[in-house]
Structure 1
């Protein structure tokens, strides 16, 4: 009887570990977002995390009769990437991100975690290319 109880306990523990991994650590999606960096701040009560917003080109319809820009809110876990973004606020970036199912307090406020910078351009350079 103890052997069966031990096996059941192990199976339940493995299921719980699998669910936690899937909900908090499994990379659900990844991609690249391009846009002008609006802000990047370090904030939090217990866990200080870097939170930012990228304004993407183009417009979308919001509520009836209004127009809004595309906004991509993200978190950054790598301090070197965060410093690079803060030094170049207002420039246009191509940012690679990973999307998770849920957030963790020490990882950031959003499900989107920026893990690298593909490219950075000054808005003056972009306007001269058009």
Structure 2
């Protein structure tokens, strides 16, 4: 009986590991920003990889970078909506897994703020991109030349 329990435990550990890191959803949420690009990539498994530019900046590695959200779109319908929304502001729903499976797309651990694989499964909202805020500078005041000295 002890041997059977030990064998079951040894077999159960890899199953739990695979489930925890590859199939259990770590987080889900919404992201909003300007849809920059979406493309179909992959040598064996073709997936739709996209990028949304969010407001603000992200620091890291001694530099300041734009705050881009890189993801994989889950299916043709979602990728078509995102493709049609290129250049517009989009709000998407995503799920995040701890590790990557090849048929679920690329892993952007180095590019996103948190490591993991982000899968966009729904497009919640599409609107025209807002114009960047323009800063109004005060008028430039030039010094007036001094009057010429009389000779």
* TM-score, scaled relative to structure 2: 0.73
Alignment partner of 1:28 out of 14, 17, 26: 26
Which structure is higher in RCO with an 8 Å CA cutoff and minimum separation 6? 1
Q: Which has the larger radius of gyration?
A: 2
Q: Distance in 2 between matches of 1:63 and 1:78?
A: 34
Q: Is it true that 1:81 corresponds to 2:81 in the alignment? A: no
* RMSD of aligned alpha carbons: 1.7
Q: Please name the residue that 1:95 is paired with.
A: 92
Q: Please name the residue that 2:44 is paired with.
A: 46
Partner secondary structure for residue 24 of structure 1:
helix
- How much does 1:57 deviate? 1.3
Q: Please name the residue that 2:111 is paired with.
A: none
Partner secondary structure for residue 89 of structure 1:
coil
- How much does 1:84 deviate? 1.0
Q: Please name the residue that 1:17 is paired with.
A: 15
Q: Distance in 2 between matches of 1:63 and 1:9?
A: 46
* Cα separation, partners in 2 of 1:4 and 1:119, compared to 1, 3 Å: same
- How much does 1:92 deviate? 0.7
Q: Is it true that 1:121 corresponds to 2:119 in the alignment? A: no
* Cα separation, partners in 2 of 1:16 and 1:50, compared to 1, 3 Å: same
Q: Distance in 2 between matches of 1:9 and 1:41?
A: 46
Task: Map 1:46-65 onto structure 2 (within 5 A).
Answer: 46-61=44-59
What stretches of structure 1 of length at least 5 have no aligned partner? none
What stretches of structure 2 of length at least 5 have no aligned partner? 108-116, 132-151
1:76-121 CA-to-partner distances (Å, cap 9, x unmatched) read 1222101111122111111111111001000010301111111110
Q: Is it true that 1:7 corresponds to 2:13 in the alignment? A: no
